[in-house]
Structure 1
Amino acid sequence: MAEADVAVEVESFLHGAKIIEAAIRTGADAIHPGYGFLSENAAFARDVLAAGLIWIGPDPDAIEAMGDKIRAKKLVAAAGVPVLEGGSFPLLIKAAAGGGGRGMRVVTEAEELEPALAAAEAEARSAFGDGTVFTEPYLPLARHIEVQVLGDAAGRIWVVGDRDCSVQRRHQKIVEEAPAPGLSGETRAALHRHARNAAEAVRYRGAGTVEFLVDGDRIFFLEMNTRLQVEHPVTEAVTGLDLVAWQLAIAEGRELGDAPPEPSGHAVEVRLYAEDPARDFAPQTGRIRAFTIDTSCVRVDAGVAAGSQVGIRYDAMLAKIIAHGPDRNAAIRLLGDALRRAEIHGLTTNLGLLRAILRDDDFLAGRVDTALLDRRLAAWTSADRDHPVRKAALAAAVGSAVRTAVSGRVQSRIPAAWRNVPSQERVRTYRCGDAEYPVTYTSRGGRLESSWLPGVSVLGIDGDRVVLDDHGVRESYRVTVVDGGVDVDGPDGSYDLRTVPVFTDPAANLAAGSLLASMPGLVVAVHVESGQRVAAGDPVMVLEAMKMQQTLTAPADGMVASLSVEVGRQVAAGDVLAVIDSAASAVPSTSSVPPASTVPSASTVPPADPSSSRS
């Protein structure tokens, strides 16, 4: 909105009638629906046309035909495109009327099928207004490959290359690249042929994407997205085409040429999300204090900037970062360097995970499939990254000490870290994630020294720059003192370090059995009442934020001693939502339970509210 000449506020981007009204009121002659839910809403497309406006997208009949997954499979199968058939386990339950990971469940055993179907139907009905679901064989080691197409009103179809989108979490993409690496010439040609046949089956007009699963040399149609894809920049990078400009041109009646340009080089895109990968990708909210990504070598499509407030209503994606190079290795190196030097503070993101993916041996070798993230997530988020955090904490402690000494109004000439008992070191404790780092340091001869981290010493401090020596390697860190902590940017990335106070507030002590909000969100369901007995693992309530729900469960057998929220209540991460009194337990339990004071486990499913963008 900051770059718009004219802006009209509407309650939600899902309110089609309000959007049409705004277009007419401002004198617009066309509507581009972006890549959210309205972009694949045939009824909205027809309403736009009925209002005398130009619809920048495919014919509503094509949207309708491909929007119903069951109908789409029959349609493309008749055109010779291979589809998944059969009912053997494992199975994937999918919503017929929508995608983006909504209403989707993997079922591995027969006894799981009935409850999974019920849950998927309810989710699909809430998200898309249609509870119809279907099943197909689940291929966990297949690759997710998609083909970009453009079509004009004259019936000409361009096949504009392919993309690999296999690195996913919760059936939503994290990394995309073009062209798809490691495909044989025969497989690539077959994918392009099948994509053309699918597009021609509905006389497709505009930009669209045909998605496939590739299992070895077998190809299966997944769906056709009748819209612009989030990952379209990688195709633009390797072809030089502006796909949005072509959407506009085709809507104005322009015809395509004989053939699209051949791809050149390689492009990789990552999606930066406000989420915590180490906590089951729980959404994160808050104000972004710093948001700096060097755009000299990468393209950044961002919806936020320093000072932006990230809330719970919409998708967790903050930005797309795209690198283009002469080959795949060059593109990955450029992208990895941009991510390494990115400075993002204020809320937890998946930036560290993205860096780890780009360094992974399997990814670098092109050995990707849709289960890669599940197999490698523990390694990508492992605690072996503890040493870089400790160095950041050391830089934060000594840098803050010098700043405090310089800016002090009283006794400002006293050296940093000076103590009247010189045998005792100063201590500053920081928290990063769940870990605490009690950094010790002292002043000797006017210089700050620390023996807290063996092999790492402080070489110098100049303004906001701290130089450390790590076993003979000099490293520079930028230290920014903020309210409640320190932001540190160094060679291993960015860290938000919160200062742990020396004296704790007695009011901060939690009652045993406290059920805490694992993420900021909206309470959408409460399954218990005060005084009700529960068993460990019983569902207590459901929180929703961005594109996911979390079911909070009882941490132990007991009785609901207090319940402090109701449906519709907005909560912050760490809020006490209920207290389970395990001393009042009368529920038999045959399994061990976690300590009552710990945060309970949470199972993750896509949300029931469709007020978020597609992925």
Structure 2
Amino acid sequence: MDHREHDQPPHASLSPRESLTAHGSRPTTHDSRRVAIANRGEIAVRIAATCWRLGLVPVLLIGKPDRDGFAARQIGRVELIGEAGTELDPVLVVAAAIRARAGLLHPGYGFLSERPELAEACAAAGIVFVGPSPATLRQCHDKVATREAAARAGVPVLPASPPLAPEPDRWRAAAEAVGYPLLVKPVAAGGGRGLRRVMDAASLEDAIAASSREGDVSGAGQAVYLERALNRPRHIEVQLAGDGRRLLALGDRDCSLQRRHQKVIEEAPAPNLDPRIRRALHAHAVAVATEVDLRGIATCEFLVGGETIAFLEINPRLQVEHPVTEVVTGIDLVEWQLRLAMGEPLPRDTPPEPRGHAIEARIYAEDPGAGFLPAPGRLATVAWPVGPGIRVDAGYASGDDIPSDYDAMVAKVIVTASDRSAALDGLRTALADTIVARVPTNLRWLLDLLAAPDVVAGRATTETAGTVAVTIPSHRSALLGAVAHTLDRSQAAGNDPWTAIGPFRLTGAAELAFHGDDWEESLRVERAGGAWLVSDTSSTVPLAWWRDEAGVWTIAAGDSVVKLAIVERDGRLEIAGGGGRWLVAAGPRPVLAADRRRHPTDGRIRAPMPGRILRIAVAPGDQVVAGQALVMLTAMKMELTREAPAAGTVTTVACAVGDQVDANQVLIELRLEAPVPAT
């Protein structure tokens, strides 16, 4: 992991203390140099890196699905909490920290990091919680309470309702008082979970029910409230640090590029921000942090539309996007968290001036072509970009399984440059050089998003990402990869089935045909003077290739160079690279009816991925219409609804609420009234 040098003199290690008194912790026999990390994936590895640099010993606390994962292998010292889901139980987490003899506990980010019960359990056990006090956490955990705190501090807030009463007949009146459009928000959920935008009264009740369910799934309870929605605002946040005596605003970030209220690209500092607005945001953030008595690290988030500023929330923890602030300020925010938790003062007296510009992109295991459906599975080849100004915080490596129990983020790629334009160019190049094979990702969509005019101009809003369509990348790279793979195998073994494509001799020429799901193409290849030449209808170029120790192919065709992962799979080649992913087969493309239309459904409604059944909306004998919701499941922190493909009758319900189901498992069976039309 590549961290910039700090602007403060580096410390070789934290000073050992006989008594840890932060947040009222009593003296303890725990090892004050052992830090329990109650998280997983990339953030656990990120925290461990700072611990090692400071001479501390990280110990990973994890659930069973992660016991052989990337973070466990990287950190080495592991304490098992229990089955999947137990890592969100404060009592079990602290019990694991005690077994690990940890003197400090770092919760990373996510739901657990904001739970006051965890901080209280740490204090009771004599373990220093790396985060704010339980009182601060309790106030920040309640989004309605933090709105009230912001208002007391003189920070502008949007019109909102109190937590909604359970009676639906009172919801419409509350919504009318707030005004449309509005957002339905869980009182205690964070990270954009459970947010639903409502344009009018017709969709209010369904949105409230969905928000309540998702808030409950996240362990945050079912209470929700309503808040006025701004039209196409920017989402700007301010990084904060406080030691109980002073508070510093360490800079701002633009997090406007979001999909389904989940951030996907963040940058620092926020571009094209009026200096008056920037100063006001920093002052408002410090005012809110003062009101909640912040001691530690936090982020205050705002919506900005023109001259309008509106408080959104304050998150008393490290944020996923913290690296962009680190690389432009030279501050290791995890080090600051550890020092503040140990009772040390802020390492500096004044806020730093940002140097350069940084942009981060989150790579998710999801299928943009299927509505961004999460895509758990086993990774084949993974290769991260390297180079000046590139930092990668990864949670997985080649051969790792991405489980369905957790968030779908695979890694974050951060690029720093002297200015925003150079950072954008650098991030595009870095993402194009990123290879993730076997599991679908959002890489191609990220590249499309970074090329959107509003993103290039630095005027993106929270609506921008939703306007960027999923494009199908050119199959040219896949075609060259298939040719190189075929020739490589031909040289190694003349009887390889991939060479049986027609008349072919290593010293002669041949026509090689390949096809994907919606394309086919032929190239002429020949050997000339010890080199391979590849020809299509318009040009002839030399072709060369080589593979590194990680199995990544570098393919040079004329002036074009591309890096690819090539994996044999079920008689085809899966090729990934340059933001694209293709399945390629040898020979001409068969002309089949299945190429022109989907197979008619047999009425079996299947799980799209592993998950847990949340709700069943039908029973045997029910009549259903096309598009009617049948069953809802949750997977990778998302709600997924399966609908009837056509009108019919429910014959079988093959699942129950709470069931864990596998991908493609039959959930509902229908007797359809008519075949599903071809699409």
Superposition TM-score tier, normalisation by shorter sequence: 0.7 to 0.9
Unaligned runs of 5+ in 1: 586-593, 599-615
Quote the residue 2:483 is aligned against: 398
2:35 matched residue in structure 1: none
2:643 corresponds in structure 1 to 553
Q: 1:72 corresponds to which residue?
A: 146
Residue correspondence of structure 1 range 480-491 to structure 2 within 5 A: 480-484=566-570, 485-488=572-575
Partner residue of 2:375 out of 247, 269, 284 = 284
Instruction: Work out the CA distance in 1 between the residues paired with 2:128 and 2:605.
Output: 52
In 1, Cα distance between equivalents of 2:498 and 2:648: 59
Quote the residue 1:337 is aligned against: 429
SS in 2 for 1:8: strand
1:38 Cα offset (Å): 1.4
**3-state SS of 1:2 partner:** helix
CA distance in 1, matches of 2:605, 2:540: 42
Q: How does 1:374-385 map to 2 (within 5 A)?
A: 374-375=466-467, 377-378=468-469, 381-383=470-472, 385=473
Equivalent runs, 1:378-457 vs 2, <5 Å? 378=469, 381-383=470-472, 385=473, 388-389=474-475, 391-408=476-493, 410=495, 417-418=502-503, 427-430=513-516, 435-441=517-523, 451=536, 455=538
Within-5 A mapping of 1:287-302: 287-297=378-388, 298-302=390-394
Please tell me whether residue 595 in structure 1 is matched to residue 672 in structure 2: no
Deviations 1:85-109 (A, max 9, x none): 1611101111111222222211111
The Cα of 1:238 is off from its aligned counterpart by 1.0
Aligned to 2:38: none
The answer to whether structure 1 residue 460 and structure 2 residue 518 are counterparts is no
Distance 2:617 2:557 in 1: 53
Structure 1 residues 193 and 416, CA gap change in structure 2 (3 angstroms) = same
Q: CA deviation at 1:306?
A: 0.8
- Counterpart of 1:269 in structure 2 is 360
Residue 149 of structure 1 aligns to a residue whose secondary structure is strand
TM-score of the pair, normalised by structure 1: 0.84
Q: How far is 1:549 from its partner?
A: 1.3
Q: Distance in 2 between matches of 1:423 and 1:160?
A: 63
- Relative to structure 1, the CA distance from residue 274 to residue 449 in structure 2 (aligned partners, 3 Å threshold; closer, same or farther) is same
SS in 2 for 1:334: helix
State the alpha-carbon separation in 1 of the partners of residues 306 and 479 from structure 2: 49
1:538 maps to what in 2?
628
**Aligned equivalents of 2:646 and 2:497: distance in 1?**
53
Which structure ranks higher in relative contact order (CA pairs < 8 Å, sequence separation ≥ 6)? 1
CA contact (8 A) 1:417 1:441 kept: no
* Deviations, residues 297-340 of structure 1 (Å, cap 9, x unaligned): 31111110111100111011111111111111122122221111
State the shift of 1:14 in Å.
0.6
Matching residue of 2:172: none
Distance of aligned partners of 1:509 and 1:500 in 2 relative to their CA distance in 1, 3 Å threshold: farther
- Which residue pairs with 1:219 in the alignment? 309
Number of residues paired by the alignment? 567
Q: Partner of 2:78: helix, strand, or coil?
A: coil
Amino acid at match of 2:479: L
- Return the match for 1:28 from 93, 102, 123: 102
Counterpart of 1:241 (choices 331, 344, 369) is 331
Code of the residue aligned with 1:401 in structure 2: it is T
Distance verdict in 2 for CA 1:93–1:77, change over 3 Å: same
SS at match of 2:484: helix
Give the match's secondary structure for 1:319.
Answer: strand
**SS of residue in 2 equivalent to 1:82:** coil
State the partner residue of 1:349. 441
What SS does the aligned partner of 1:299 have? strand
Q: 1:414 to 1:183 in 2, by over 3 A?
A: closer
Q: Is the 8 A contact 1:345 1:494 kept in 2?
A: no
Q: Deviations over 1:396-429 (max 9, x none)?
A: 4423432443344649999974179x99966433
- Checking the alignment, whether the CA contact within 8 Å between 2:214 and 2:639 is kept in structure 1 is no
**TM-score for the superposition, normalised by structure 2:** 0.77
Q: How does 1:168-179 map to 2 (within 5 A)?
A: 168-179=258-269
Structure 1 residues 578 and 409, CA gap change in structure 2 (3 angstroms): farther
Quick one: structure 1 residues 267 and 393, their matched pair in 2 at CA, closer, same or farther if it must change by over 3 Å?
Answer: closer
- 1:413, 1:120 → 2: CA distance? 52
CA distance in 2, matches of 1:307, 1:90: 46
Q: Indicate the residue corresponding to 2:203 in structure 1.
A: 112
Equivalent position to 1:136, from 204, 227, 239: 227
| Structure 2: runs of 5 or more not aligned | 1-71, 161-177, 547-552
In structure 2, what is the equivalent of residue 188 of structure 1?
Answer: 278
| Equivalent pair of 2:544/2:557 in contact (CA under 8 Å) | no
**Alpha-carbon contact 1:441-1:448 (below 8 Å) kept:** no
Q: What corresponds to 1:4 in structure 2?
A: 75
Change in CA separation of 1:444 and 1:324 when aligned onto 2, cut-off 3 Å:
closer
Separation in 2, partners of 1:183, 1:478: 39
Aligned equivalents of 2:498, 2:331: Cα separation in 1: 62
Shift of 1:47: 1.1
Amino acid at match of 1:305: A
Matched letter for residue 484 of structure 2: G
* Residue equivalent to 2:49: none
Aligned partners of 2:612 and 2:524: how far apart in 1?
46
Which string of whole-angstrom CA distances, capped at 9 and with x for unpartnered residues, describes residues 38-81 of structure 1?
A: 11001111111111111111111111112111111111111111
Instruction: Tell me whether 1:312 sits opposite 2:404 in the alignment.
Output: yes
Structure 1's 415 and 569: CA in aligned 2 closer, same or farther, altered over 3 A?
Answer: closer
